[in-house]
Structures are given as C-alpha cells and as structure tokens.
Amino acid sequence: MAEIGKDISKAKQILEAGKLVGIPTETVYGLAGNALNADAVSKIFETKNRPSFDPLILHTSGIERVLDFVKEIPEDLKILADSFWPGPLTLLLPRKSIVPDLVTSGLDTVAVRIPSHPLTKELLTELDFPLAAPSANPFGYISPTKASHVNDQLGQKISYILDGGSCEVGLESTIVGMENGKVTVYRLGGIDLRLIEEKVGEIHQVAHSSSNPKAPGLLQSHYSPTKPFVLGDLPKLIEEYTDKGIDFAVMSFRDSFEELDCKKIVILSPQADLHEAAKNLFASMRILDSMDVSVILAELMPEEGLGKAINDRLRRAAAK
C-alpha cells in the first residue's frame, strides 16, 4: 500500500520525477501528476482507468500562474475568480499550446482551479508546473474524502498520499465557463449557484453529457457504489424492500427510521444542514457500500443551495 504522510518535500520530489501523488483539496482528494508532462498525465488515465475523452482539471497556486497556460480570463470569469479562488470553483478557459492535448481531450479549453487546502496550496507554490488532479479513485466510483479512501482504492498503484484529513466541502468543484457570451455552469459543485448569480447575474446551466463531455466529470453514470443504488421516497422504498425480503441499507438526509437496524442506516445531517450533508455524502456512500446488503436505498435532498449539487451526484450514482 502507499505511504501516507504530510511530507510536502517528498510529494514534490515524486511529482518532479513524473510520478503520481494523492493530494488533499477542500473538495475531494485528487490523483496528481505534472500537467505539462504528457507521460505523467497518461499515468493518471491509466491508474484511474479513466477514458481519454474525459478531460482533467489543472490545479495551481495563484491567478497570476493561471495566465501561464491560458490565453485569457473573460471579465465575468475574472470576477468569479477574484470572488471564489482559492476554493471549489473551476473555470473553463481558452488554453495555450503548452497544455498537452491529453489533459483537455483535444478541446481548445482547459479546466483550471486554485484549491484552498493549506497542504496542497503549499505544495503548488513550491512546484514550477501545475498539477492535473482528477479525483483519486477508480473511474466512476465514489470520490475519496480521506487519505484512507485513496489508499483503499489506489494504494497498490501509487507510492505516496499527502494526508490533509477529511475534506471540508466533500463535493467536487463547480465548473463554470462562457458559452455564446453567457456565464455557463457545466457542473454543479461546492459553490451555491445563488452566490455565483450574485456576482455575475443570470447564468446558464447545461445538462451533463453521456459522452465526449466539454468539461471534467460530466458523464451520466458516475460517483457510483458497487451495489445497486436506488433513489426514491424512503418510507415507500423501505416498505417495498422489506416486503420483498431483500437486505438493504439506507442513506437518509435527516430521518432516523427507528424501526430499522441502526447499523444499516447512515444519516447525512440530523440537523438538515446541506453543507454537512455534502461533506458526509461520499464517505457515507463508501460505508454503505461496504455493508453486507444487496441494495442501498437513498433519497434526494431539498432542491436548493448545495442540495442541487448533492442531488446531481445522487442521480448519477443511481444511473447504473
């Protein structure tokens, strides 16, 4: 298995050698490699078993460094960058030729963000290249929010994981770009869309794609546990699967369902706090997936604020 630690110098040395490191961010843990080294980027796709048509996100330490590998930052997106960087915002920007085609899946735009996690911020400051860093898990599976999650899934394939504790946000970044002169949200994530609209006015939102996505993380089936994942009205689902005699576990927003075995129910937020629910989502899915049950039953969150992004992940987890 991989070594887990807080040695930034060791992580830097491994990355400079063209190898991969697990890194913490405020959203989820990333599988990082030198974004300007096509061989290192190729190792990311190979290690994750990720299809080459799904582009990657570049991570760097400051907005001035972003301009090293993008042609421009449109004014509305610059407003968002100034408001939400460092943080869970990814911008889709016109790329310079220095960025390998493999990173962008041949597109003329590149996804970029500045993470806020202190360990990774320090690491990025010490590197003279950006990091390509999709979530550090096998492609399509639940995103990791702890170093141990990365080790469980990829520890046999990488040598080092930088341990930054549990991820504070727990959902991937919100991806925003420009389309036909309008601010466009390509992926819901860790920033409430209402906060974006407060900065730039009305925005356009696109549906996720089933193939050849314009931005990372847009495939229809994604973030999925290995067990069947069923969304619906929990009381009705519980009654239905109980009548069928099928063993199940439950992921609830806030209700405890006291008639059930407490060991087979995970509550995302007893206080009905969507930020807490987002932070707990992926770790809870992993716990449920490890249980000796045949199916996982879950419910949608209120369709407001971060609930929209959580519901996006839930629907894609259930898409299989």
pLDDT (mean) for 27-55: 95
Question: How much is the pLDDT for 215?
Answer: 75
Confidence category of residue 45, pLDDT binned at 50, 70, 90 = very high
Question: How much is the pLDDT for 220?
Answer: 65
pLDDT at 212 over 60: no
Question: How much is the pLDDT for 173?
Answer: 96
Instruction: Return all residues near 58 (Cβ < 8 A) that are at least 6 apart.
Output: 35, 69, 99, 103, 110, 111, 112, 113, 130, 131, 132
pLDDT in tens, 54-90: 899 999 999 999 999 999 999 999 999 999 999 999 9
Question: How much is the pLDDT for 43?
Answer: 97
Distances (CA, A) of 97 to 71, 103, 129, 270: 9, 11, 14, 49
Confidence category of residue 223, pLDDT binned at 50, 70, 90 = confident
Question: How much is the pLDDT for 216?
Answer: 79
pLDDT (mean) for 116-140: 96
pLDDT at 320 over 80: no
pLDDT at 285 over 60: yes
Distances (CA, A) of 109 to 97, 99, 137, 279, 289: 10, 10, 24, 30, 36
pLDDT (mean) for 238-255: 96
Q: Report which residue type is found at 281.
A: L
Which of 52, 213, 206, 48 is closest to 140 using CA atoms?
Answer: 48
- Any idea which fold 229-317 has? Rossmann fold (3.40.50)
Listed by start position, the domains of the chain span 3-205, 229-317
Question: How much is the pLDDT for 232?
Answer: 97
The architecture of the domain spanning 3-205 is Alpha-Beta Complex (3.90)
Confidence category of residue 209, pLDDT binned at 50, 70, 90 = low
pLDDT at 304 over 70: yes
Per-residue burial over 230-263, b = 16 or more CB atoms within 10 Å of its CB, e = otherwise: ebeebeebbeebeeeeeebbbbbbeeebeeeeee
Q: In terms of pLDDT, which residue wins out, 121 or 206? A: 121
pLDDT (mean) for 99-112: 95
Percent of the chain with pLDDT over 70: 96
- Decide: 154 and 135 in contact? Cβ < 8 Å: no
Q: Tokens standing for 166?
A: 């549990």
Confidence category of residue 229, pLDDT binned at 50, 70, 90 = very high
Task: Map residue 101 onto helix, strand or coil.
Answer: helix
Task: Map residue 64 onto helix, strand or coil.
Answer: helix
Question: How much is the pLDDT for 210?
Answer: 47
Task: Map residue 298 onto helix, strand or coil.
Answer: strand
Percent of the chain with pLDDT over 90: 89
Residue 71 DSSP label: S
pLDDT (mean) for 134-162: 96
Out of 222-226, 252-256, 265-269, 309-313, pick the least confident. 222-226
pLDDT (mean) for 114-128: 98
Q: Which helix (H) or strand (E) holds 241?
A: helix 234-244
Q: In terms of pLDDT, which residue wins out, 50 or 130? A: 130
Confidence category of residue 277, pLDDT binned at 50, 70, 90 = very high
Question: How much is the pLDDT for 242?
Answer: 95
Question: How much is the pLDDT for 213?
Answer: 64
